Amino acid sequence: MNSIAVCVCLFFLMIGIPSFSADLPETLPGMNISPESFSMIWCGSSLDSVASIVNFRKNNMKKKLPPVDALMGELGEEFLSLKESLSRENPGKSLGEIEKETVVRLLDGWTKKIDLARTSLSPFERWMLDMSLFNRSVIAGDSALMERILSRWDGDALKMIVLSGAQETTYFSKERLNEKVVQPVILKTRLEEIAKSSDQDVSWLAKHYIDPFFQNPVGNVFPSFPIGLMTLDGQPLTLDRFQGKTILVVFWNTFAGPKPWISELEAFLNGTKSKGFEVLGICSAPKKEALEKFCEENRIKWPQYWDKGDGTRKRLGFAYDIQREPSFFLLDPKHVVIAGPKEFQNGSLKDLLEKLSLDSK
């Protein structure tokens, strides 16, 4: 079983899977939504998990799989097969465009198969299938199906489906389509309701997905860091220490292979166009000592914050919706984002910084 499936199973073994009546909308009593559990559950229902689910099914063909695992594997195989076919037929289309078209073509068939299977499944299995189907309906833009799925659930089970759909929209738009994030109206309305929750974790997650910065950072003010955090040099983690300066905030790590961007950044900092320019690093190194050693060996002088909180929510990488490392945010002296991760995806970091710094003056 893949690690995602194991995590999901362990999570629900901890809280228990109670029995329910068949009346709708259903709830899943005992569910506790935290950023950690939410991130884990979304990974298991995301479009990105399809290949893992299919491989799990293939590796266990001789065993009698639970109905939900068999069905998810079958739907996943349909997805991968059509995706491969569409990729051959449309070589000029991006991966995101191909995947979206695949989902749109298969969604009706998936819905019918899941509806047929629902009556023989446990409430938890129905919920997992509905969350996966909801994520696909978000990608396809099928508002009627979204509404129908949401009408089946209540309580935290409903909130988790809404939050999962919001994460799928954010991830798929940014990472697959390379487009601005636009939450569907039905999803945004539900998120605004959830944002009023008395549960701080639930409210925080919902606000995260409707905050303009997390949808499209360029043109928005970079959110202030939480109070009380300190950089390795003993100073508070705050943008105010760089008053009047253009700032590059870098979310990075010390362990993901070669880092040519560091030498490109140093070349820019040593050039004549870096006057009035500062860099701030947010590093998710496994240990503080590893970060200190890496900076010393590579002569990195710019301030660093070691981003290793006790749990996902306390990590800035999660709080600032970092999908990959390194991720760059270029801020003007008023802390408005000039360029974000999307703008830094292609080209030399040094050349991009020189151009963006000149354009912002």
Instruction: Count Cβ atoms within 10 A of the Cβ of residue 122 and give its class: 0-12 exposed, 13-18 middle, 19 or more buried.
Output: middle
Domain that includes residue 274, residue range: 239-359
Whether residues 274 and 196 share a domain: the answer is no
pLDDT at 251 over 60: yes
Q: Is residue 106 part of a domain?
A: yes
Percent of the chain with pLDDT over 70: 78
Q: Is residue 227 part of a domain?
A: no
pLDDT at 84: 93
Whether residues 175 and 246 share a domain: the answer is no
Q: Is residue 118 part of a domain?
A: yes
pLDDT at 236: 94
Position 119: which residue type? T
Whether residues 203 and 252 share a domain: the answer is no
- pLDDT confidence tier of residue 330, bands split at 50, 70 and 90: very high
Whether residues 151 and 267 share a domain: the answer is no
pLDDT at 4 over 50: no
Q: Measured over all CA atoms, what is the biggest interatomic distance in the chain, rounded to whole angstroms?
A: 70
Position 220: which residue type? N
pTM of the predicted protein model: 0.71
Mean pLDDT of 168-172: 87
Position 171: which residue type? Y
Mean pLDDT of 9-38: 46
Q: Is residue 223 part of a domain?
A: no
Q: Is residue 220 part of a domain?
A: no
Q: Is residue 229 part of a domain?
A: no
- Classified as helix, coil or strand, 280 is strand
Mean pLDDT of 139-159: 93
pLDDT at 14 over 70: no
pLDDT at 10 over 60: no
Whether residues 245 and 150 share a domain: the answer is no
The region of weakest confidence among 51-65, 155-169, 220-234 is 51-65
C-alpha–C-alpha distance, residues 168 and 132, integer Å: 10
- pLDDT confidence tier of residue 321, bands split at 50, 70 and 90: confident
Domain count, the chain: 2
Looking at every residue in the chain, the average pLDDT score rounds to 81
More confident residue, 355 or 8: 355
pLDDT at 240: 93
C-alpha–C-alpha distance, residues 282 and 295, integer Å: 12
Model pLDDT for residues 102-129, shown as the tens digit of each residue: 999 999 999 999 999 988 888 888 888 8
Whether residues 194 and 247 share a domain: the answer is no
More confident residue, 104 or 313: 104
The region of weakest confidence among 19-23, 105-109, 137-141, 357-361 is 19-23
User: Cα–chain-centroid distance for residue 139?
Assistant: 14
Whether residues 342 and 201 share a domain: the answer is no
Closest CA to 100 of 111, 88, 87, 112: 87
Strands 304-306, 277-283: parallel, antiparallel or unpaired by DSSP? parallel
C-alpha–C-alpha distance, residues 11 and 294, integer Å: 36
pLDDT at 63: 66
Whether residues 278 and 179 share a domain: the answer is no
pLDDT at 158 over 70: yes
pLDDT at 286: 83
- pLDDT confidence tier of residue 360, bands split at 50, 70 and 90: low
Q: Among the ranges 16-20, 78-82, 103-107, 171-175, which has the highest mean pLDDT value?
A: 103-107
Whether residues 195 and 258 share a domain: the answer is no
Residue 252 falls in which region: left (phi positive, over 0), alpha (psi -120 to 50) or beta: beta
Q: Is residue 231 part of a domain?
A: no
Q: Is residue 127 part of a domain?
A: yes
Whether residues 26 and 149 share a domain: the answer is yes
- pLDDT confidence tier of residue 27, bands split at 50, 70 and 90: low
pLDDT at 44: 55
pLDDT at 358 over 60: no
pLDDT at 23 over 50: no
